[in-house]
Structures are given as structure tokens and as C-alpha cells.
Amino acid sequence: MVKNYLAEFILEEKFSHCHINTQDVFKKIILDIVGYTVAGSQTDEAKLAKDFALELWQEGECSIFLSSEKINSVGAAFINATMTTALDLNSEHRMVKGQLNSIIFPAILAASEERKISGEEFLSALLVGYEIGIRADRIAHETRSNLQAICSAGMIGATAGVSRVIGLSEEALVNAIGITEHYSTYSPLMNSIEPVGEQEAISWASMAGVNSAMLAEKGFKRESKTFSEMNYFENQHVQELGRKYLVEQLLYKAHICNRFQSETSEALMLYGEVSEKEIKQKFLSLTEPVIGREWSGQLIETITHLEEVKNMREFTSLINKMILKQVV
């Protein structure tokens, strides 16, 4: 029987099995994401999106950053993704056109809270999301080389990670990716065109990642073109899953500036090339004005030991409750 590397990786990959260097890079990435999400939570854009989300998705047990309100996983993915991208500080990947962090992280965090999974399983699902998303982009460019699709890689990654969280079968998880490809915000552009207006699609893309996996869980079926049978049995990008971690190619922004400014300031480098001290200093500069230095330090410590968390819902609820005491 031919080995299905795609399904095996999504369903069985474990963060703890990665090399320690990959784990360290991944923790730096998460710390960076949380930093600019906390900072983005204070923008007018995020506050308006929060009011809208609370009107539309009222029932649920998922957290909104720096808020006492609870919401369902679809709404949480939407609003937290809005916060994550509000200041346009997102990291980039040297192999991908389009965002990953602001789409994948909020979707998988929301699903992890809803299903009350452990921190170790959350990290594993998040790793799955990044690796599948990056490879989806690579496969799409090789098969449709004249086109790029804004946010599509991030959406597929979010769907893969959420599929892991909710425990889809092999057949259902491929259908989930197919649903994402067929019904999500997919805007193809010529490769020669620089992505414009990407921020506006990110919140919808994160939300779509949750929706697609949950539709597949209900039995909804759609064929995936990116991960066709030939691709997930024979494609090099799929066969390398679990042996080569492309998340290590994510680029860190040394300065707090948007992506257009970072391109001209030559401030991009691999996370593996950045010291822990530099990462923490940037995190503090983003979060300290919002939650204070003490709680910024506590967040750093918590993220460093995420794999020890037993229940992501209890964890995020406790963090939000304690931090809110510091927020005026």
C-alpha cells in the first residue's frame, strides 16, 4: 500500500519530535505573533471588528485577546486575526507570497480552546498548519506557475491545523482542504503583481480555515486540487513532511514597521538567526504599553512552556482574566 504522507503528518506529527532547534525557532515565532496581536488589540480597527463579532457570534467558550467576553471558534478566529494583522507587523516567508501567521495562529488557537486540547497538542497542530500551508503554496506555484493566490496558503494551513485539532479522518481532512480551495476567499493574481489589499482578506481567511474543517467533520465533501491523490502520494514537498521543516524559513522583522518599510530597511532575517534576547526586547516594546512589564514577562514565560499546559481553554481564560486586571 502506498503511504499517505499528507494524512500521516497532519494526524500524527508531534511538536516534541522536532529537533530542538526547530522547537526554539517555533517558540520565537509564537512569541512574535502574540506580541503584535496584543499591540494590535488596541487599534480602532480591532475594536470595531470585536463589536461586530460579538453581535454575530455570541455563544461560545473561545477567548478574545484582552477581553472578558467569550465567543465561538469562528468568531474568535475572525477577531483575533484582525488584531494580529491590524498593525501590519506580520512576518513573511521567503518561499510564500502572502500571510501565514495572521491566518493560521488565530484559527488553530480558537479550535484548540473549543476542543480543550493540551498545549503540546496545540503546538503540534500549529506546526502542522505552517508546514502544510507553506507546501500548499509551493505546489500551487509549481502547477500554476503564472499565478499567485492571496491568503490561500494560510487558509489551507489553518484548515489542516484545525482538522488535526478536531481529529478528522484521513478522508475528511482532504475534503476539508478541498472545501477551503472551493469556497474560501481566493484571489488569484499574476506573479508579477505585488499583493495589495491583503490585510482585508486575512480575517476572513482565518475564519474560513475553521469553517472548512468543521464542514468536513459534518460530512461535507469537496476534492482538493492542490493535494490531489498524485500530489499527496508522490510530490516531494509532501514526502518531506516531518523530515524537513520549512517553518524555519520564516523571516523575522527586526524593527516594528510594516512589510513595505521592512523591505527597504533590510531588516528581515531568519528567526534562527535572532537571539532570544532580541525577540524578548521586541515583545516587551509591543506589549508593555498595553499590559505592563510584569505581565509581559509572565507571557514570555508562559509561551516558553506552552507544552506543559493541560487545557488550552482554561489556560487562555486564566491569562486573559489576570492580564485584564492590569489593563485600564
Helix (H, G, I), strand (E, B) or coil at 150: strand
CA distance 69 to 316: 12
Q: Cell for 72?
A: 465561538
Residue with cell 493574481: 189
pLDDT at 139: 82
Q: Are 121 and 162 in contact (CB under 8 A)?
A: no
Grid cell, residue 311, equals: 487545557
Contacts within 8 Å (CB) and 24+ apart, 171-176: 172/216, 172/217, 172/219, 173/7, 173/10, 173/11, 173/213, 173/216, 174/6, 174/7, 174/224, 174/227, 174/232, 175/216, 175/220, 175/221, 175/222, 175/223, 175/224, 176/212, 176/213, 176/215, 176/216, 176/217
pLDDT in tens, 212-240: 999 999 999 998 877 776 555 677 888 88
Into how many domains does the chain fold? Answer: 1
**Res. 44: pLDDT tops 60:** yes
Number of H helices, E strands in the chain: 15, 7
How far CA 225 is from CA of 78, 143, 178, 260, in Å, comes to: 26, 10, 7, 32
Q: What is the pLDDT of residue 151?
A: 61
- Residue range of the domain that includes 91: 5-324
At 244-258, the pLDDT tens digits run: 999 998 888 876 655
Percent of the chain with pLDDT over 90: 42
Collapsing DSSP to helix, strand or coil, 254 comes out as coil
**End-to-end Cα separation, the chain, in angstroms:** 60
What number is the average pLDDT over the span 125-153? 78
* C-alpha cell read off for 134: 507553506
Cβ pair 207, 74 in contact under 8 A: yes
Question: Are 137 and 150 spatial neighbours (Cβ–Cβ below 8 Å)?
Answer: no
Tens digit of each residue's pLDDT (9 = 90 or more) over 56-115: 887 888 988 888 888 999 999 999 999 988 877 776 666 666 678 889 999 999 999 999
Q: Which amino acid, 76?
A: A
Cell, residue 231: 500530489
Interatomic CA distance for residues 54 and 185, integer angstroms: 22
Asked whether the beta carbons of 190 and 141 are under 8 A apart, the reply is: no
The pLDDT assigned to 71 comes to 92
Q: What whole-number distance in Å separates Cα of residue 60 and Cα of residue 301?
A: 28
Taking the alpha carbons of 250, 85, 96, 259 in that order, is the dihedral positive or negative? negative
Segment 313-323 shows an average pLDDT of 81
Parallel, antiparallel, or unpaired for β 62-63 and 147-150? unpaired
**Percentage of the chain lying above the pLDDT 70 cut:** 81
Q: Greater confidence, 93 or 273?
A: 273
Task: Report the CATH number that the domain containing residue 173 is assigned in CATH.
Answer: 1.10.4100.10
pLDDT reported for residue 196: 47
Question: What's the CA gap between 179 and 176, in Å, rounded?
Answer: 5
Closest listed residue to residue 241, CA positions, set 1, 14, 2? 14
